[in-house]
Amino acid sequence: MSKLNPIISIYGPTNSGKTAIAIELVKNFSAEIISVDSVQVYKQASIGSNKPEKKILEKYPHHLLDCIEPDKTYSVGSFKKDVLKIISKNDHQNKNSILVGGTMMYFYSLFNGLTNLPEQDSKIRKKLDQQENKLGLKYLYTELKKVDPVSAARIHENDKQRIKRALEIFLITGKSMDQLNASRPKDILGERKFLSFAIIPEDRKKFKGDLKIRFENMISAGLIEETEMLMNKFSKDIPVLKAVGYKQVVEFLENNLSRAEMIERATDANYQLAKRQMTWLNKLNPTETFFCNQSNIIIKILSYL
């Protein structure tokens, strides 16, 4: 095989125009788009995950969309395994791989490697579930801060899935996530060249207003009905319904929020998510950072190629 093409990554906060940029790049050279999104991976969850329209996907297919059922879990390790297969296939066909999305941990695992974390332990998980039921999630979060303060600092205090996973890893291994990550393999793609481009908003106040408009458009497109369908077909507790946007609609459907409260809370949650996504940029060390509304993004990216 001839010299391998660089891997192109386009990442940034939600609603920053990343997909449109990836599509423009595909128009300019032979490449395939790989979605890096922990919600778009789920089937039957199109509106709330903001998947590209069907007519766009027919013309510009995306890998790792609609891969698993809504009640299944999809881990960072699963992503890494799947994406490396796709990249390898693209390499053999002499095609570029364009990774696009906002799940920064997925990008980080690809760029920096990922330690082999232990599989879930049903006995320990059952014990953690019992502690949550008896003592509350706040208790578990406090325990996590004691044994793994670094993980606790980057995990939201209400994110029960990640809190339990971090505690579970400590209880199995006796080590924190950071201690395990210190021994992770580096450069999992060898000497492969990465070109990564961050897309961020220039005006954060306007950006938050745009997030509200997008959520209202999702509601008009059928987000409430989609959420209700997923709840009825599976359960309100499935992983995909814990995602920002879906979570607030579930609360609305359970009469815990008014329609106006749902919109405001979803907007705030999306904005907080976007801020967390942007804090990853220092770790990911992008080749170049662009504002969403820059007119020369495509030209500049192509200049690197």
Residue 54 belongs to domain with CATH number? 3.40.50.300
Cα separation, 127 vs 165, whole angstroms: 12
- CATH code for the domain in which residue 212 is found: 1.10.287.890
- Residue 1: inside a domain: no
| Tens-level pLDDT at each residue, the chain (305 residues) | 457 888 999 999 998 999 999 999 999 999 999 999 999 999 999 999 999 999 999 999 999 999 999 998 888 888 988 999 999 999 999 999 999 999 999 998 888 765 566 777 888 989 999 999 999 999 999 999 999 998 888 888 888 878 998 899 899 988 887 787 666 555 446 567 889 999 999 998 999 999 999 999 999 999 999 999 999 999 999 999 999 999 999 999 999 999 999 999 999 999 999 999 999 988 888 999 999 989 899 999 999 88
30 and 54 together in one domain: yes
pLDDT of residue 1: 47
41 plus 77 within the same structural domain: yes
The pLDDT assigned to 187 comes to 47
**CA 129 – CA 217 distance, rounded (Å):** 37
Q: Count how many domains the chain has.
A: 3
Q: Alpha-carbon distance 28 to 206, whole Å?
A: 31
Residue 190 is given by DSSP the state T
Do both 95 and 135 map to the same domain? no
Is 192 in the same domain as 66?
yes
Q: How much is the pLDDT for 181?
A: 67
Specify whether 196 is located in the same domain as 291.
Answer: yes
Largest alpha-carbon pair distance within the chain?
60
Could you give the CA distance from residue 249 to residue 227 in angstroms, rounded to a whole number?
7
State whether 56 and 101 are in the same domain: yes
Query: 258 in a domain, yes or no?
Result: yes
Q: Based on the fold, state whether residues 39 and 165 are members of the same structural domain.
A: no
- Of 70, 79, 74, the C-alpha closest to 48 is 70
Shared-domain flag, residues 73 and 190: yes
Q: Which domain holds residue 126?
A: 122-181
CA nearest 82: which of 99, 69, 95?
Answer: 99
HEC per residue, 82-149: HHHHHHHHHHHCCCEEEEEECCHHHHHHHHHCCCCCCCCCHHHHHHHHHHHHHHCHHHHHHHHHHHCH
Q: What tokens does 251 get? A: 């609360």
Q: Quick check: is 40 in a domain?
A: yes
pLDDT value, residue 64 = 97
pLDDT of residue 191: 61
pTM: 0.78
CA 12 to chain centroid: 10
158 shares a domain with 51? no
